[in-house]
Amino acid sequence: MILRTFGWSFAITVLGLLVALLYDGATGLALVAVLAVLEISLSFDNAVVNAKVLDRMSPFWQKIFLTVGIAIAVFGMRLVFPLLIVTVTAGLGPIEAFDLALNDPSRYHHLMNDAYPMIAAFGGMFLMMLFLDFVFEERADKWLPWLEKPLARIGKLDQLSVVVAGGSLAFVAGLFAKEPGDVMVAGVLGMVTYILVNGLGDLFSEASEDDEDEAEDGGSAQAAESGAGTAAAAGGGASAARTGGPSALALATGKAGFFLFLYLEVLDASFSFDGVIGAFAISTDPIVIALGLGIGAMYIRSLTVFLVRKGTLHEYVYLEHGAHWAIGALAVCMLVSIGHHVPEWVTGGLGAGLIIAAFVSSVVRNKGGEGGSGAGRDRPAESVKV
């Protein structure tokens, strides 16, 4: 199970470390190893949330996320994205930006730092919206009932997440930002992106459920007909399947899966902002950063698969709560970092600490006989295969 799930991560680790050794000797090898650990520590909560969303996706879209999605995460966000930021903010061409990264890393780092307030505003507001939507929603299981119960009660106020997030953005932009207007625009874009992608995913998920209900109703009606009529209907359905005509259900499921895929990619991007910027404290070489963070991203992908296959989130019910509280802490750290540097060990430590606390609480809950321990074991095996 471990080798099957983490096999690709082990292979990429060996390959990445070998490339680092050939590229920059023992120094490059050490830096890549440190960056990989940094990425894993900063993004563990990302794996928990990814697993929760991945559990709602069809096997096809699960495979897309775990193949195409990881390529986007490793090469797009860890290598191309920093170059794109420098290209836009400095008015350089892509080739010039890459040349600058290789031959003048100090200036490249300086340009990335100049762009960080906008990056932090976008990613921070996306994650803030995700956190607020979770804590303002009424749910049966509560990890911190003394806090989650009142939050769920006030969460009945319509659009409270937007109000709180928007107010936080205005406060931070006015208090910390050197360019408040740029920070406000980036933050609003982060909120709009979350509302749009998450809303479209929910819309098409509901459409899929409606189509499924209609299909079940239609099947019940057909069952009441004569055997000959039923056979004819089945023949017609088989013919439609052979011609490749997609049903309304297939189309709706495809759209829902597509927008969930987009949601996960934007979510991963928001998580990676902090790691990419923090990596410059360790190395300014874009190749070393891409190798280290890419290895870390592979382990996050494997951990996501592991959580889905084992049904861990169903067995340890507070893990999801801990991950979302960690997301809230990361969002606050990103917003504060617009004006003040927040050490990576603070953001990583907060995330890891909250998730460990949630895991321990889940174990205590299961041992207390509240019914959580059997949830994961009784659950059928997942369809994720990579």
* pLDDT at residue 194 tops 80: yes
Q: If we measure between CA atoms, which residue out of 260, 263, 282 comes closest to residue 42?
A: 282
Between the two ends of the chain, the Cα-to-Cα distance in Å is 12
* pLDDT at residue 368 tops 80: no
Percent of the chain with pLDDT over 90: 6
What was the pLDDT predicted at 386?
44
3-state secondary structure 118-150: HHHHHHHHHHHHHHHHHHCCCCCCCCCHHHHHH
- Give the contacts of 255 (CB within 8 A, at least 6 positions apart): 204, 207
pTM above 0.75, yes or no: no
What was the pLDDT predicted at 209?
54
Mean pLDDT to the nearest integer, 183-201? 84
pLDDT tens digits for range 51-65: 877 777 777 887 787
Q: List the single range of 163-167, 184-188, 197-201 with lowest mean pLDDT.
A: 197-201
170: left (phi over 0), alpha (psi -120 to 50) or beta: alpha
Give CA–CA dist 375/369, Å, rounded.
12
Between residues 1 and 377, the one the model is more confident about: 1
Mean pLDDT to the nearest integer, 100-114? 79
By the 10 Å C-beta count (0-12 exposed, 13-18 middle, 19+ buried), 253 is classed as: buried
What was the pLDDT predicted at 369?
63
138: left (phi over 0), alpha (psi -120 to 50) or beta: beta
Q: List the single range of 86-90, 91-95, 225-229, 267-271 with lowest mean pLDDT.
A: 225-229
Q: If we measure between CA atoms, which residue out of 304, 279, 301 comes closest to residue 290?
A: 279
pLDDT tens digits for range 201-249: 666 555 555 555 554 555 554 544 444 443 333 344 434 433 344 433 3
250 confidence band (pLDDT: 50, 70, 90):
very low
164 confidence band (pLDDT: 50, 70, 90):
very high
User: What's the chain's average pLDDT?
Assistant: 75
Give CA–CA dist 131/161, Å, rounded.
9
